Structure formats: structure tokens, C-alpha cells
Chains A and B, each alone.
Chain A
Amino acid sequence: TQLLEQSPQFLSIQEGENLTVYCNSSSVFSSLQWYRQEPGEGPVLLVTVVTGGEVKKLKRLTFQFGDARKDSSLHITAAQPGDTGLYLCAGAVGSQGNLIFGKGTKLSVKP
């Protein structure tokens, strides 16, 4: 059974602070995605990383895929209240189509 462990589960910070969310597994993934979900809505894909060591940036968000493709991190610089939401990582196993999710990190950014 593949498991994706996300940490921290909850994070409450002030506007302007930096933060990092981690996604770890003992399994190797062919690709890993990060999503953001608002209450009452479905998750929205932020980024997909596929190469070990890959780093992608999306404005103030930086995503990194571990060299062994077992872990990933999401770093937010100068967080804003609009970043508040549930952040989810999801890993794809080979080409089987199996896409599993971590439990999520609930982020609250206070003005």
C-alpha cells in the first residue's frame, strides 16, 4: 500500500511569513502533483513534477521533487490571506493510472 504523509496537518501563520509543506512516502512515484482546495469545491491542480530533483516555481510558490522521487515540498514566500486553503499532494504510481492523495495541509494566513 502506497502512503503519502503530509506535514504539517495544520498551519496558521501571519501575512508575510514563509512556510513549507512536506509530502513524504516510502514509495517511488512517476509523478507528483500539488493541489489547492477551497471549501465546497473540488481540488485544483497547481503543478505536476516528474523528474527527480525538479524544481518548479509558480509566482510565490516553489515546488520541489526529491531526487529519489519519493518526496516533495511546497514552499510559499510572503504568504497572503488569499493563500488560505487546503493543500494536497498526490502521487501517481507508474503508468497504472493509480493516483493517491495525502491527507492535506490546512493553511490559514491571517492579515
Chain B
Amino acid sequence: AQTVTQSQPEMSVQEAETVTLSCTYDTSESDYYLFWYKQPPSRQMILVIRQEAYKQQNATENRFSVNFQKAAKSFSLKISDSQLGDAAMYFCAYVSTYAGGTSYGKLTFGQGTILTVHP
């Protein structure tokens, strides 16, 4: 079974600074995607960034970038120029893209990291 671990229950950052959230995962599959989702107090789970496992290049979306280390099964999120609106719970998630497997389409989430942004 796949597992996702976020070892930082809480992180804080000053506005305009950079913060990195950590995530490790365990899987025996080779075809998968990894995601970072953001969940503010409004509860809406918002997709932040996606990484396809077969791509060596790290994904980037504006101020958000990832450091994907496939061999180490590590997938960290870097938020640059942090803004007050970035404050939320961040979840790392894994999904198998192997259509013949029993885990296909099933998102497995980590425990989450609460990010606080100080003005």
C-alpha cells in the first residue's frame, strides 16, 4: 500500500520570505502523480501543483515549485515570496496512474502541514 508522510505538523514564514514544506512517500509502482493541495479555513481543497513521476524536470507554478527526488521518494514544496493568502493547511498527495492496479485514481494524502504567514 502507498503511504505519504508529512513530518512537519506546523511551519511559519515571514511575508515575502521563502518556505519549504517536506513530503516523503512510499510506493512500489513506477507510474504515479504527486500533488500539493492547499486547504484554507474555507475548507476548499485547492490544487497548487502537480508532478508526473516520469518527468525529471521539477514542476513550477508561479511562486510555487517542487523538488522531486524520485529515487529518494521525496517531494517538497517551495513557496517563494510568501503572501498572507498562502496561510493554509497544505497536503501532499499521491495517485497511481496504473489503470490495471487496485489503487488507480485513489488519492492518498499525508497528514498535512499548517502554514502560518506572519506580516
A binds B: no
